[in-house]
Amino acid sequence: MAKNKNSQEDFCNFCGQKIDPNKTLLIHGVDAAICENCTSAVSAMLEDFELKTAKKKSNFKLNLLKPQEIKEKLDEYVIGQNEAKKVISVAVYNHYKRILYAQKEQNEIEIEKSNIILVGETGTGKTLIARTIAKLLDVPFCIADATVFTEAGYVGEDVESILTRLLQAADYNVEKAERGIVFIDEIDKIARKGADNPSITRDVSGEGVQQSLLKLLEGAQVNVPPQGGRKHPEQKFTVVNTQNILFIASGAFNNIDKIIAERMNTNTIGYNKKNRQVNKNNMMQYISAQDLKQFGLIPELCGRFPVITYLNALDREALKKILTEPKNALIKQYVRLFELDDIELTFAENALDYIVDKAVELKLGARGLRSIIEKIMTDAMYTFPSLKQKKIDIDLQYAHEQFEHSIFACLEN
């Protein structure tokens, strides 16, 4: 026990202060003692040391590819859309280069985020591009549908639930999640109803959601409910910093080409008022933040998506390539499925043409190819694994019969 030699009073061996046992706790060891004030100070020093050590150990590492290399990798999975892939490759490279160099050096110049917005019809490859980039960089990735969100306090999901999904994708590793990619689909569906005019009544699933998204996109410390907020109100929150999260938004923005045409003044013979020739068959290439604002996105949201690019509608040739050429092409997937049962599957050229023609006719884009093939192949996938026959050739007649049969079966049901 720490006692003063000339008195029976206790004292702290660290600060040397006399301790009144009625006011302050004194923790005794074998030959020394420490008061609660010194204990608190040591505890704070340890926490600070552990925090600094953790930061040193948790430096973000990433094998960042150059823009041309990113595009070359995308070419292996995504057919066409060269302009979009080029713009996205540059934006992604700049975003993660910004994070990597921010760790190495302190600079007065702070580089802002390069959030991206993709405009294009359904089935043109918007989601596939974002998912492929996340896979290439090996960062957490999640998809959120903007249509399910409402302003806080109303029935629906809060925008913070986007980060809950990202945390889940990162196995609840906060640091890893803070370097991930969030894909917000159908962002055009939350355009405010009054378009270029402020809302008169509360727009809880439109402009209200846009306002709620602003702090996430800009970069802020957000309290995230790991299990989703409204169903588990008693849970502890996880703090996530969105400063380094890359947000990619997408939407079809139906009829936005008319807004672009009006801005470009192409009502005459194909020239605008500055006598520059305009391609009236592809107005999407001229899209700008001004057009998104006119469509119904608030200016603040447009400002947080500095990178805007478009995806062209897929023509017949592109759809044919999507079927057969990419690493994960649909035809290769079905061939592999049958290989697992030791069955050789082949598609005749005219059968592939039929599948493409149906996708063009139904205006489903690349996403529709899968549903068409599934209708054609369902019967074969059901019967052939049980048969001794080890070879299947899908020709035009078989494809036509199976597709028409599935259509009529749906009508009967």
The reply to whether 178 and 252 lie within a common domain is yes
> If we measure between CA atoms, which residue out of 164, 161, 151 comes closest to residue 211?
151
Residue after which a domain boundary falls, among 260, 281, 310 = 310
In a shared domain, residues 295 and 348:
no
Highest mean pLDDT among 54-63, 171-180, 201-210, 280-289: 171-180
- Tokens coding 51: 């925090």
Residue 168 forms part of a structural domain: yes
Q: Please check whether residues 104 and 77 belong to one and the same domain.
A: yes
pLDDT for residue 219 is more than 90:
no
Sign of CA dihedral 184, 187, 117, 199: negative
- Same domain as 337, residue 227: no
Of 233 and 97, the structure prediction assigns the larger pLDDT to: 97
Q: For the segment 354-377, what is each residue's pLDDT rounded down to a tens digit?
A: 999 998 888 778 888 999 999 999
Residue 279 has pLDDT above 80, yes or no: no
Residue 2 counted as domain residue: no
Q: Are residues 34 and 149 in the same domain?
A: no
> In the chain, what are the helix, strand and coil shares in percent, each to the nearest 5?
50, 15, 40
Instruction: Reply yes or no on whether the pLDDT at 174 is more than 70.
Output: yes
Residue 100 pLDDT level (bands cut at 50, 70, 90): confident
Pair 182, 198 in one domain: yes
Q: Is 333 exposed, middle or buried (0-12, 13-18, 19+ CB in 10 A)?
A: exposed
pLDDT at 350 over 90: yes
For residue 3, is it within any domain?
no
Give the structural domain span for 52: 10-57
- CA distances 413 to 132, 403, 407, 408, Å, are 38, 16, 10, 9
Question: Is a pLDDT exceeding 50 seen at residue 316?
Answer: yes
Report yes or no: 19 and 7 within 8 Å, Cβ to Cβ: no
pLDDT of 270 strictly over 70: no
Alpha-carbon distance 176 to 167, whole Å? 8
Same domain, 241 and 347: no
Q: Residue 356 falls within a domain, yes or no?
A: yes
pLDDT above 80 (res 274) = no
Helix, strand, or coil (residue 71): helix
CB 311 within 8 Å of CB 125: yes
Q: What's the mean per-residue pLDDT of the chain?
A: 81
Residue at which a domain ends, from 310, 341, 373: 310
More confident residue, 275 or 324: 324
Distance, in Å, from the CA atom of 67 to the CA atom of 64, rounded to the nearest integer, reads 9
More confident residue, 59 or 399: 399
Our CA dihedral for 368, 323, 350, 371, rounded to 10 degrees, sits at: -20
Picking from 247, 279, 310, the residue at the C-terminal end of a domain is: 310
Same domain, 225 and 326: no
Within this chain, do residues 256 and 199 fall inside the same structural domain, yes or no? yes
Compare 107 and 142 and report the one with higher pLDDT. 142
Is the predicted pLDDT of residue 56 greater than 50, yes or no? no
Q: What CATH number has the domain bearing residue 184?
A: 3.40.50.300
The domain total for the chain is 3
236-259 tens-digit pLDDT: 788 899 999 999 999 989 889 889
Residue type for position 359: A
Phi, psi of 10 (to 5 degrees): -80, 150
pLDDT of residue 207: 81
Look at residue 9 in the predicted model and tell me its pLDDT: 61
What would the mean pLDDT of 320-342 be, rounded to a whole number?
Answer: 92
- What is the arithmetic mean of pLDDT over 106-125? 82
pLDDT of residue 5: 45
CA distance 280 to 266: 7
Q: What pLDDT band is residue 387 in, cutting at 50, 70 and 90? A: confident
**In-domain check, residue 264:** yes
Q: Where are the alpha helices (DSSP H) in 153-288?
A: 161-169, 174-177, 207-218, 256-264
CA distance 224 to 233: 11
Are residues 262 and 371 located together in one domain of the fold?
A: no
Report the CATH number that the domain containing residue 385 is assigned in CATH. 1.10.8.60
What is the SS3 assignment for 122-178? CCCCHHHHHHHHHHHHCCCEEEEEHHHECCCCCCCECCCHHHHHHHHHCCCCHHHHC
Instruction: Report residue 7's pLDDT band, with 50, 70 and 90 as the boundaries.
Output: very low
Looking at the fold, whether 397 and 264 belong to one and the same domain comes out as no
Is 248 among the domain residues?
Answer: yes
DSSP 183: E
348 in a structural domain:
yes
